[in-house]
Structure 1
Amino acid sequence: MILLKLFITFFKIGMFSFGGGYAMLPLIQLQVVEINNWLSKKEFIDIVAVSQVTPGPIAINSATYIGYKIGGVIGAVISTIGVCLPSVIIMFILLKFVIRFKNNNFIEDIFKFLRPTVLGLILAAAMIIFQESVLGFKEFLIFLFVFVLSLKYKLDPILLTLLSGILGYLIFT
């Protein structure tokens, strides 16, 4: 029964989320932390952090990890399929319409309307992560240092991630 619940939960998340993984985070948190109580807020923040630095889309990484935690390997597979399947179905359905109406102004207006919605969802995810994380002075200094390096020198994100990890290791061990 838990496997069916995992599938339905992540299918709903995949079906009603627009804009990719970061836009999905508020919905994932609502379903996983608040409604189903599968994870604590701290565990959710940890999953988001790990999902950001591992290869692949954040929503899929999160779904896979949560599914594994709740239902083992089969739970991971079912959660991953659940979050991906709506996009696949929608793309097959929309493909016919996009080809047919690709130069239609109404369709272009719909996508213009969705852009700010997606931005709002991404900002909501950022606010949730910021509010729930325990950010001490040392963590803030690492963040500030890496943020300044990013803006001033346009360094590669992978290098900045590695630098953050090294600084965190040196400061906290």
Structure 2
Amino acid sequence: MIFLYLFITFFQIGLFGFGGGYGMLSLIQSEVVHRHHWMTTGEFTDIVAISQMTPGPIGINSATYCGYTAVHNAGYSGFMAVLGSLTATFALILPSLILMIAICKLFMKYMKTQTVHDIFAGLRPAVVGLLGAATLLLMTPDNFGTPSLTPWQFWISCFLFAATAVGTWKFKINPIRMIVYCAFAGLLLLY
């Protein structure tokens, strides 16, 4: 039964997840952590970190790892957990595949009309809002710590967050390098 719920959940996320993978993160977290309780916030945070470091789109990577973790946490293992990964991944990309095939011919015919331009102008603020929501949802005590309980972790996390933002925006440092630098900093903090 979990496979059916996985398919429906990730199909809905794929259907309504505008803004790419980062825009989908808030929807994925809302469904898999808060609504279905398939995993904890800490597990989801780990999934996001792994999804960012592995090649491929973050939304698809997150769906793959969430499918595996959800089925594994439900008591299945081995091939069944892999089947959970495949189910969640396929369900996430299926709406895009269907919509792109259906819209492609219409878009090519009507792409220069004012209505199409107005639709895209209306979607832009929604995409920015989803990206902002994804950022805010990941700023939790699990990720940053708290100033009262774990001040060392909190201030180091805030510094890494600010350094990454400034490094990529102001100094145009390659985001891949910033990921490596922050991973190295995280390894140093383990010791």
TM range (shorter): over 0.9
Tell me the TM-score normalized by structure 2: 0.84
- Secondary structure of the equivalent of 1:103? coil
User: Structure 1 residues 149, 121: closer, same or farther in 2, change over 3 A?
Assistant: closer
Post-superposition offset of 1:28: 0.8
- Aligned residues with identical type, % of pairs: 43
CA deviation vs aligned residue, 1:126-163 (integer Å, no higher than 9, x gap): 11111354311222233334444334432222222111
- Secondary structure of the equivalent of 1:12? helix
What residue in structure 2 maps to residue 30 of structure 1? 30
Listed as ranges, the gaps of 5+ residues in structure 2 are: 72-80, 145-153
User: Structure 1 residues 15, 148: closer, same or farther in 2, change over 3 A?
Assistant: closer
Are 1:83 and 2:89 an aligned pair?
no
Q: Which moved more, 1:39-48 or 1:111-120?
A: 39-48
What residue in structure 2 maps to residue 168 of structure 1? 186
> Aligned equivalents of 1:65 and 1:159: distance in 2?
24
Alignment size in residue pairs: 173
User: Structure 1 residues 34, 103: closer, same or farther in 2, change over 3 A?
Assistant: same
Equivalent residue letter for 1:27? L
Tell me the TM-score normalized by structure 1: 0.92
Listed as ranges, the gaps of 5+ residues in structure 1 are: none
Are 1:156 and 2:156 an aligned pair?
no
CA deviation vs aligned residue, 1:64-104 (integer Å, no higher than 9, x gap): 00111223011100110000000000001101210111111
What residue in structure 2 maps to residue 63 of structure 1? 63
Contact 2:45 2:143 in 1 (8 A): no
Q: Which moved more, 1:99-108 or 1:144-153?
A: 144-153
CA deviation vs aligned residue, 1:17-51 (integer Å, no higher than 9, x gap): 11111111111111111111101112112211221
User: Structure 1 residues 42, 110: closer, same or farther in 2, change over 3 A?
Assistant: same
> Aligned equivalents of 1:42 and 1:143: distance in 2?
18
Contact 1:22 1:58 in 2 (8 A): yes
Which residues in structure 2 correspond to 1:1-173 (within 5 Å)?
1-71=1-71, 72-135=81-144, 136-173=154-191
Q: Which moved more, 1:47-56 or 1:163-172?
A: 163-172
> Aligned equivalents of 1:82 and 1:75: distance in 2?
11
Equivalent residue letter for 1:52? Q
Q: Which moved more, 1:12-21 or 1:156-165?
A: 156-165
Equivalent residue letter for 1:117? A
> Aligned equivalents of 2:141 and 2:95: distance in 1?
29
Flag the structure with more relative contact order, 1 or 2, with Cα contacts below 8 A and sequence separation at least 6: 1
> Aligned equivalents of 1:30 and 1:149: distance in 2?
30
> Aligned equivalents of 1:108 and 1:35: distance in 2?
36
